[in-house]
Amino acid sequence: MSVLRILHTSDLHLGAKFTFLGLKGKEHRRQLLATFSQIIDLAITAQVDLFIIAGDLFDSNNPSRQTVDAVLSGFRHLDNAGIDIVITPGTHERIGRDCIYLHEFWNDFSQLTIFGEGGWNSKKLKNIKTTVYGWGYDGRHPGDILKQLRLDPADDSHFRIGILHGSLLRRGMVEDDEVIFSQESLEQCGLDYLALGHWHSFLDCSQGKTKAFYPGPPEPIAVGDNGGKVILVTLSREDSSEIKPVQVGKRRFIRKVINMEMVSDSVQLKNMLKEWADLDCFLSVSLRGPTLFPDLIDLDELEEELSPLFFGIRISNESFPAPQFLDKFRSTGLVTSEFVRIAEEHIKNSSGEERLIAEEALRLGLAYLEGRIKN
pLDDT at 176 over 70: no
- The answer to the question of residue 306 being in a domain is yes
Per DSSP, the residues of 286-352 read EEEEEES-GGG--HHHHHHHHGGGEEEEEEEEEEEE-HHHHGGGTTS-HHHHHHHHHHHHHHHT--H
Do residue 294 and residue 238 come from a single domain? no
pLDDT band at 295; cut points 50, 70, 90: low
- The answer to the question of residue 356 being in a domain is yes
Do residue 149 and residue 46 come from a single domain? yes
Mean pLDDT for the chain overall:
89
Do residue 61 and residue 181 come from a single domain? yes
* Lowest-pLDDT choice from 111-115, 129-133, 212-216, 370-374: 370-374
Do residue 332 and residue 187 come from a single domain? no
Task: Please indicate whether residue 343 or residue 288 has the higher confidence score (pLDDT).
Answer: 288
Most distant pair of Cα atoms in the chain: their distance = 85
Nearest to 11 by CA among 157, 158, 163, 129: 163
Do residue 20 and residue 97 come from a single domain? yes
Residues 222-245 have a mean pLDDT of: 90
d(CA 357, CA 373): 18
pLDDT score, position 4: 95
Residues 168-195 have a mean pLDDT of: 83
Query: Is residue 4 within 8 Å of 159, Cβ to Cβ?
Result: yes
Residues 146-170 have a mean pLDDT of: 90
- The answer to the question of residue 333 being in a domain is yes
Domain boundary residue, one of 247, 278, 296 = 247
Per DSSP, the residues of 45-94 read HTT-SEEEE-S-SBSSS---HHHHHHHHHHHHHHHHTT-EEEE---GGG-
pLDDT score, position 48: 97
d(CA 156, CA 152): 9
pLDDT band at 219; cut points 50, 70, 90: very high
Domain boundary residue, one of 247, 268, 298 = 247
Do residue 268 and residue 243 come from a single domain? no
Query: Is residue 44 within 8 Å of 123, Cβ to Cβ?
Result: no
- The answer to the question of residue 375 being in a domain is no
The two beta strands, 211-214 and 203-204, are antiparallel
pLDDT score, position 331: 65
pLDDT score, position 320: 80
pLDDT band at 24; cut points 50, 70, 90: very high
Do residue 162 and residue 208 come from a single domain? yes
Do residue 186 and residue 104 come from a single domain? yes
Residues 13-24 have a mean pLDDT of: 93
* Lowest-pLDDT choice from 30-39, 210-219, 225-234, 292-301: 292-301
pLDDT at 329 over 90: no
pLDDT score, position 332: 60
pLDDT at 375 over 70: no
Do residue 275 and residue 331 come from a single domain? yes
Query: Is residue 63 within 8 Å of 95, Cβ to Cβ?
Result: no
Burial class (CB in 10 A: 0-12, 13-18, 19+), 40: buried
Do residue 235 and residue 306 come from a single domain? no
Question: How many domains is the chain partitioned into structurally?
Answer: 2
- The answer to the question of residue 230 being in a domain is yes
pLDDT band at 141; cut points 50, 70, 90: low
Query: Is residue 168 within 8 Å of 201, Cβ to Cβ?
Result: no
Residues 221-243 have a mean pLDDT of: 90
Local structure of 28: helix, strand or coil: helix
Q: Give the pTM.
A: 0.86
Q: CATH number, domain at 208?
A: 3.60.21.10
Do residue 315 and residue 210 come from a single domain? no
Tens of pLDDT, residues 49-86:
999 999 999 999 999 999 999 999 999 999 999 999 99
- The answer to the question of residue 272 being in a domain is yes
d(CA 138, CA 151): 21
Domain carrying residue 260: 252-369
pLDDT at 368 over 90: no
Domain boundary residue, one of 232, 247, 262 = 247
Beta bridge partners of 8: 52, 231
pLDDT score, position 226: 84
- The answer to the question of residue 130 being in a domain is yes
Do residue 243 and residue 256 come from a single domain? no
d(CA 239, CA 228): 29
d(CA 287, CA 258): 5
d(CA 250, CA 28): 10
